[in-house]
A and B are shown apart, each in its own frame.
Chain A
Amino acid sequence: MSFQIPIGPQHPALKEPISLRMTVDGEVITDADIRLGYNHRGLEKLAEEKTWVQNIYLTERICGICSHSHATCYVQAVEKLMEIMPPRRGLYIRYLVSELERVHSHLLWLGVAGHEAGFDSFFMYTWRDREIVMDLLEMISGNRVHYAMNTIGGVRRDIDEGQKAKILEGVVTLRKRSEYYFGIGANEPSFVARIAGVGMLTKQQAIDLCAVGPVARASGVARDVRKEDPYAVYDELDFNVCTSDSCDVLGRVVVRVMELLQSYNMIEQMVKGLPDGDIVVKAPRKAKPGEALSRYEAPRGENVHYIKSNGTDKPERLKVRAPTLGNYPATMVMLKKGFIADIPLIFAAIDPCICCAERAVTLISARSGEESVVTMSDLRRQALDRSKNTPVKGKSVWPF
Chain B
Amino acid sequence: MREITFIEAVREAQAEALIADDRVFIMGQEIGSYGGVFRATQDFVRRFGEHRVRDMPIAEQSMLGAGVGAAVMGMRPIVEVMFMDFVACGMDAIVNHAAKMRYMSGDQLRAPMVIRTQGGSGTHHGSQHSQTLESWFLHVPGLAVVVPSVPQDVKGLFKTSVELEHPVLFVEHRALYRTTGTVTDPVAPIPLGQGVVRRRGDDVTVAAVGKSVHQALAAALEMEEEGVSVEVIDLRTLVPMDVELVLESLSHTHRLVVAHEAVERGGWAGELVARVVAEGFDELDAPPLRAGSKATPIPFARELEAAMISDERLIARRIRESLDLAEYSA
A binds B: no
Q: Show the binding face of B for A, using Cβ within 8 Å.
A: none
